[in-house]
Structure 1
Amino acid sequence: MTDTPPYVRPDVALFLQFLNAVPGPKFWQVPVDDARAMTAAMRDVADAPVGELAVIRDLSIPGPAGAIPARLYDSREQREAGPVMVFYHGGGFVIGSLYTYEPYCAEVARLLDLPVISIDYRLSPEHPFPAPAEDCEAATRWIATSPAELGRQVTGLIPSGDSAGGNLAIVTTMALRDRPAAVPVLAQHPIYPVVTLDADWPSMREFANGYLLTEEAMAYFGEGHAATPGDYRWASLMLKS
């Protein structure tokens, strides 16, 4: 990236310059375990500290292929019945984790005064499509039942996530629309979600290189996740509405 467009904030431009100047291979050029380790190492570079919170507690949720790890964040030790945000992390279905998104989830729990439950769904390429979507739906349905492990009475769900997690938020919302859970979805909050396999978009062309999520990175994620064309859990989100 040589010339930064004027709409890119100066601090963001400096951070991108720093990232692009880091020597060594990129995450899509190394084995997947190394790619995940590189992403985890970026947490303390790119994010604010997790900070103090009344509750940060690990959970184990029954899933279609075994236990699904999750983590509960809450600014209150105890609270009355109310909604819960269920968060699905980003990372192209390949490299994200509970750890990498902990600062964000803790801050959301603080600012919104809501319980946030982050879901550590199975990752590709070991567990390709539709494993992540299956785990997220199963975990969200479990949360909706107000299990004793939560210590909270859930009255509604707010599926949320960024990038790949935004896709999972939409997919989960649609699944619960078609076959409702024990409590309703009150709102959904997808953040720059992936909703199509078609890469021919102006933003993909304009920001193909130099902006962290490169054309090569997107191809790497797509190959690893191996989504099925035409399946509503990925490629036809825009059509099944």
Structure 2
Amino acid sequence: MLDIQLRKLLEHGRESGVPDMADVPMPAAREIYTALLTATDLPVADVDIDDHRIDGPGGALPLRLYRPRGRSGRRGAALYLHGGGFCVGRPQDYDGLCSQLCLEADCIVVQVDYRLAPEHPFPAAIDDAWAALQWLSQHAESIGADTGRLIVAGDSAGANLAAVMALMARDRGGPALRQQTLVYPVVTAAPGQFDSYRTHGEGYTLTTRLMARFNDAYLGDAQVPADWRAAPLMADTHSGLPPALVQVAGFDPLHDEGLAYAEALADAGTPVSLVTYPGLAHGFISMGGAVTAARLAVSQVASAWREAFAAPPDPTPA
């Protein structure tokens, strides 16, 4: 059964005439995305929020930092990669979520304003995310973080990037990561190949049509690439990766591929916690201000981060 609070949100959206982002120009889709998250996300927590710029592969790369206020000592840090189909979204849209995670997990959260498609197709977002992770690893102490306690996290397209960051860090000898948090991840480059696209691809928060539009914009003129960075489920092996928290929603076209990725991790011996929110739909991690079950999901992420930061480092080489 669809969560009652979420059902009311969807009904309100239909009555208000909010269009499917698949049907409007990309600039308008970005405005709709921002408005939707602003209406449902958690309030911004009382933390310090600062903007930085670093050298990125495409020029200056903006970062947004969230730090606990008035607390001393070094703490763990999480690189959070926002969702939006690689085409919409910006760090400011996630201020509520990331500031609350910063407060509840007592950690530093870093967002990167990675380049968006179609202006910057694959692999621009990956290159920017990797540059941000490298910067965080190399400059952790300068922002009050502990180099030995790093996490990668994200939702939807951002979870794709987080999964790719974990694979790249393993293959390139670091940085060592304590954990990866993947919230309803995109892990294939072929929308529609799982049954959940047919059962939940219309009528909820994410449509199959919108996923196809985002996918086409992100991959550009390329066909489904043989590059696992576009589809981390295609990676040769999922062993030797940091423990994962995978959250999926019952009413989400991405439900089945999230399950498939969790299974791939588990089959390879990577510790994974898979949590299904059966009454929720895609985007729930940014609905904590309006849906109680979504707020619980945020707290679960914060709890998993606290546990990962408190654990002793893994002696196994990256």
Root-mean-square deviation (CA, aligned residues, Å) is: 1.8
Q: Is 2:151 aligned against 1:155? A: no
The one of 227, 232, 239 aligned to 2:235: 239
Return the alpha-carbon distance in structure 1 between the equivalents of residues 84 and 93 of structure 2: 10
SS of residue in 2 equivalent to 1:52: coil
- In structure 2, do the counterparts of structure 1 residues 77 and 67 end up closer, same or farther at CA, with 3 Å as the change threshold? farther
2:203 to 201, 204, 210: 210
Q: 1:240 to 1:224 in 2, by over 3 A?
A: same
Is it true that 1:38 corresponds to 2:32 in the alignment? yes
Deviation at 1:77, TM superposition (A): 4.2
Provide the C-alpha distance between the structure 2 equivalents of 1:77 and 1:105, rounded to a whole number of angstroms: 18
The alpha-carbon deviation at position 60 of structure 1 amounts to 0.9
Partner deviation per Cα, 1:44-73 (whole Å, 9 max, x = no partner): 3111221321x1111112111111111111
CA contact (8 A) 1:82 1:155 kept: no
2:173 aligned with 1:180: yes
* Ranges in structure 2 where 5+ consecutive residues have no aligned partner: 238-318
In the alignment, structure 1 residue 229 sits paired with structure 2 residue 225: yes
Residue 16 of structure 2 corresponds to which residue in structure 1?
22
Q: Which amino acid aligns with 1:185?
A: L
User: What's the TM-score once normalised by structure 2's chain length?
Assistant: 0.69
Contact 1:35 1:95 in 2 (8 A): yes
Q: Does the CA-based 8 Å contact 1:125-1:225 persist in structure 2?
A: yes
CA offset at residue 180 of structure 1?
A: 2.7
8 Å contact kept, 1:173–1:185 = yes
Given that 1:195 and 1:235 are in contact with CA atoms closer than 8 Å, whether structure 2 keeps it comes out as: yes
AA matched with 2:236: K
User: Does the 8 Å contact 2:75/2:106 carry over to 1?
Assistant: no
Amino acid in structure 2 at the alignment position of 1:10: I
Name the TM-score, length of structure 1 as normaliser.
0.90
Aligned residues: 233
User: What residue number does 1:101 align with?
Assistant: 94
Three-state SS of the structure 2 residue aligned to 1:237 is: helix
Partner of 2:43 in structure 1? Answer: 49
Cα deviations across residues 154-175 of structure 1 (Å, max 9, x unaligned)?
Answer: 3231000000000000001111
Q: Distance in 2 between matches of 1:155 and 1:229?
A: 34
